[in-house]
Amino acid sequence: MSATRPRRRSVVVLAIALVVLVAAGFGIWFFLKKPQTRSAEKLCTQLGQVTSLSSSLVTLDPTTLGPQVAELKRAADVAPSDIQAQMTILATFVEEVADTVRASPTDKKAALTAALAARQDRIDEVTTAGQAVEAWSSTNCGTTLRSTTTQKSTATTRR
């Protein structure tokens, strides 16, 4: 009889340890899966990380394009409700185009042209979303999203 008590005690201790481990695992999983809080401050911070997206798209540099697209996607994840839809449209479009370009084994510029041509029906929607995001950023973050190279080339083409 004394031999069954230590065995029963070790089974109970093992069961308690398993319950604690399962509870800890569930707690960690819940914490990691918790949706991010959306706020203007977080979006402004995240947009500050999307500093060279336009140049990455122009040069099609895979070392910068992937990280910049990921930062834009993260920005969409924290965008407050007043700009969330536009950020999602913009981030999704850019991600789709970048994925198509990255998947091209050879001519990246031709892949970019083809990707944009295939999405021509969405260009107006994406342009409107981009303009809304830029205006929102200017108003709420005090920053412009256009890089100086983009502004110079735009100013040059307007002349």
Q: Give 59-116 pLDDT, tens digit per residue.
A: 888 788 888 899 999 999 999 999 999 999 999 999 999 999 888 888 888 988 999 9
CB neighbour class for 105 (10 Å; exposed up to 12, middle 13-18, buried from 19): exposed
Per the CB < 8 A criterion, the answer to whether 128 and 35 are in contact is no
Please give the Cα distance from 138 to 44 (Å, whole number). Answer: 10
The residues, any chain, with a CB within 8 Å of residue 60's CB and separated by 6 or more, are: 101, 108, 109, 112
Q: What is the mean pLDDT of residues 108-133?
A: 92
Give the residue among 158, 157, 147 at the shortest CA–CA distance from 58. Answer: 147
pLDDT at 9: 81
Q: How many CA atoms lie within 13 A of 108 on its CB side?
A: 12
Question: Per-residue pLDDT tens for 24-50?
Answer: 887 787 766 655 688 889 999 988 888
Look at the pTM and tell me if it is higher than 0.75. no
Is 94 within 8 Å of 72 (Cβ atoms)? yes
